[in-house]
Structure 1
Amino acid sequence: MVKFVRWLLFPFSILYAAIVLLRNWAYDNQLYNSTSFHFPVIIIGNLSVGGTGKSPMTEYVLRLIKPHLNIAVLSRGYGRRTKGFRYVNIDDSAELTGDEPLQIKRKFPDATVIVCENRVRGIEQVQGQVDAVLLDDAYQHRKLRPSFSILLLDYESLQHPILPLPTGNFREMLPACKRADTIVITKCPDTVPAQMKFSIESRFRKYTSVPLFYTKIGYQKLQMKNGLLLDDTQLGDTVALVVTGIAKPQPLVSYLKPKFKEIIHLSFRDHHQFSPDDLDKISQTFQHIDSLQKVMITTEKDLQRLPSSFVDQHPLYFLPIDQVFLFGDAHMFDAIVKRAFSS
């Protein structure tokens, strides 16, 4: 039914795509002004709405560059209930900062993490205090002219027709990849068939010749907030209640399913702010699981939005993820990014 309704909105998709095309043309021809800076400003973005792995890539780049430069991470802070410029502190709540910036700050407590919906103003606030700025989800923020752009597209989205909003999930179409300095195909299977790799690269080579990389999700150990790891020797006898509020939870569920006796999945929308009723529903669902061995699992991003009181009352584990480059290309990607931050 949802797909049918979205196809009914196809005329609006054509209008939306035309408006985006016109807007980009205006920026490309300097009818609208873009602001640039005299120090490295690197952006990570995508063409679609959510689910491409921007947070793991942001953490990957931060982990790579932070030992060498004083780098600030700037985010819009999607889902926060505050406005304007704000430094993120580890004891903040997701309502103040957004879940992704808070996750990054808690993983990198000595890093400068800031939120500001006006990216140019946010950079101006820290200019002179840091050596470089890394932005997530800023590919469509044309008021800013970055020094380097990393464009992410998830593998699954390239297996289907690429359609603009609201019929499809794309904010921009593939020709927009010409603004990128490197492209990463994320969430790939363990093995990308040679024919599929050729097909993907052929599509992009119509518009750009920049380096193209492939990554998969690297799942780490299930752990509690206090760092306690889940004993994985008895997972086959354990029932797991999986709670997600992310754009594309299916890869996570598919990864966990063969490891546990049973998976029960409660799915909420991306960046969902859990209400008392939501928390009660989760607790009741967990209590009614008829098994002596049961655990609750969520994502690292969702953990930022769950109240500490709720987390402390349940055997709640989260699953950290990272980016794993395929075809042995990590060193090449690292060299390109390091060069971008040194310019």
Structure 2
Amino acid sequence: MNLLRKILLPIVPVYYMVTWLRNKLYDLDIKKSMTYEVPVIAVGNLSVGGTGKSPMVEYLIRLLRDKVHLATLSRGYKRETNGFQLVTINSLVKDVGDEPLQFKTKFCDIVVGVDGDRRNGIANLMNLRPKPSLILLDDAYQHRKVKASFYILLTPYDDLYCDDILLPTGNLREPRKGADRANIVVVTKCPGDITQEDRVRVAQKLRIKSNQILFFSTINYGNEIFNTSANRSLDSLKDVFFVLVTGIANPKPLIDYYTSIGLDFKHVRYPDHHNFTTKELSDINKHDLIITTEKDYVRLSPNLSSDKLWYQPIEVKFIEGKADFDARILENLKKAK
């Protein structure tokens, strides 16, 4: 914890009261939440960033895209536009944000929209023809003007929300009790060799409610890296030095993975959703081989030489219970029809 965060500790109770009161007004139906005729699945977290929302949204897209007419709706963080925007494969990051463009680029057959006002965004999506039969809300756990039909709460293994405190000293956006709204809680970024005893310990710390289901997942890194025109195996990098460029909240799992398989690299870290300056792009482009994340790739690829820039894909992998997780999502879909 840095000094400034320690200094701001007295503000934490104020933040707690404001967020607690806001939630209580929604819980008592004094402030109104809107429901919808189509199922709405919200993926989010209690903390600020780094929980693995994008890989989870992509997991759900893969699960649902052949079963429903699917749309995703994100805020479009750090975009330069306002209001509702439909994302196309030709959209610019500055107009729609990096993660929505990543979704559209990878899954061009689904509808992707951005809007900071989720109500307005859903209204615009529902005016499309054909209209979506399911909407995935990315990072909308605290957006209580919308009442989703199903909530998936993510918390990383090495930074559980039960071990954290509220902003501005900690990283929680709302009190821990907010976890009670979740239908499913997923502990993300677990070690691949996590034991049953460790899972029990985490479950006891989280105090999962009887009506909630707890799952554990890890990050599955592919054996290949990609760019727009080619792919190559990670084994081919064993004797090659490269620069790893990240602009994500928590690059540690990727760094640990590359280190564990014996790759030789230098890590250049930028803040999450970083807008790269001309000088930064010039400095990065001086390197012969550059590897980055998928999210950063959509930011960097328009500005760097395509033959030297590659990205590392990642996917969610459940430690166990994948079939149960899938079944619960699909069952919710049936109930909402």
Match of 2:269 among 257, 267, 270: 267
Q: Which amino acid aligns with 1:96?
A: D
Determine the structure 2 residue equivalent to 1:61: 60
Determine the structure 2 residue equivalent to 1:317: 310
- Taking the aligned partners of 1:232 and 1:249, their CA distance within structure 2 comes to 18
- Asked whether 1:139 is paired with 2:141, we answer yes
What's the CA shift string for 1:15-58, capped at 9, x where partnerless?
Answer: 11221111101110111111111220111010111111111110
> 2:20–2:175: 8 Å Cα contact kept in structure 1?
no
> 1:41–1:147: 8 Å Cα contact kept in structure 2?
yes
TM-score norm. by structure 2 comes to 0.94
What's the CA shift string for 1:309-328, capped at 9, x where partnerless?
Answer: 4142x51110000000002x
Match of 2:240 among 220, 227, 238: 238
> 2:125–2:132: 8 Å Cα contact kept in structure 1?
yes
Q: 1:193: how far off?
A: 2.9
Q: Superposition pairs for residues 6-21 of structure 1, below 5 Å?
A: 6-21=5-20
- Taking the aligned partners of 1:63 and 1:140, their CA distance within structure 2 comes to 25
Percent identity, aligned pairs only, is 38
Label 1:36 to 1:159 Cα distance change in 2 as closer, same or farther (>3 A).
closer
Determine the structure 2 residue equivalent to 1:295: 289
- Asked whether 1:335 is paired with 2:335, we answer no
What's the CA shift string for 1:182-210, capped at 9, x where partnerless?
Answer: 11110000122333322221233364541
> 2:161–2:176: 8 Å Cα contact kept in structure 1?
no
> 2:162–2:205: 8 Å Cα contact kept in structure 1?
no
- Taking the aligned partners of 2:270 and 2:153, their CA distance within structure 1 comes to 27
User: Which range is displaced more, 120-129 or 132-141?
Assistant: 120-129
- Taking the aligned partners of 2:190 and 2:170, their CA distance within structure 1 comes to 20
Q: Name stretches of at least 5 consecutive residues in structure 1 with no aligned partner.
A: 287-293
TM-score norm. by structure 1 comes to 0.92
Computed over aligned residues only, the root mean square deviation of the Cα atoms, in angstroms, reads 1.7
Give the secondary-structure state (helix, strand or coil) at the position aligned to 1:109. coil
Label 1:160 to 1:211 Cα distance change in 2 as closer, same or farther (>3 A).
closer
Determine the structure 1 residue equivalent to 2:159: 157
Q: Which amino acid aligns with 1:56?
A: P
Q: Which amino acid aligns with 2:106?
A: K
Match of 2:187 among 172, 185, 188: 185
Give the secondary-structure state (helix, strand or coil) at the position aligned to 2:231. coil
> 1:178–1:208: 8 Å Cα contact kept in structure 2?
no
- Asked whether 1:196 is paired with 2:233, we answer no
- Taking the aligned partners of 2:23 and 2:302, their CA distance within structure 1 comes to 43
Q: Name stretches of at least 5 consecutive residues in structure 2 with no aligned partner.
A: none
Match of 2:222 among 220, 223, 226: 220
- Taking the aligned partners of 1:191 and 1:159, their CA distance within structure 2 comes to 22
- Taking the aligned partners of 2:145 and 2:162, their CA distance within structure 1 comes to 31
- Taking the aligned partners of 1:83 and 1:266, their CA distance within structure 2 comes to 31
- Taking the aligned partners of 1:261 and 1:148, their CA distance within structure 2 comes to 41
- Asked whether 1:49 is paired with 2:10, we answer no
- Taking the aligned partners of 2:51 and 2:305, their CA distance within structure 1 comes to 27
User: Which range is displaced more, 42-51 or 314-323?
Assistant: 314-323
- Taking the aligned partners of 1:206 and 1:213, their CA distance within structure 2 comes to 11
Q: Which amino acid aligns with 1:336?
A: R
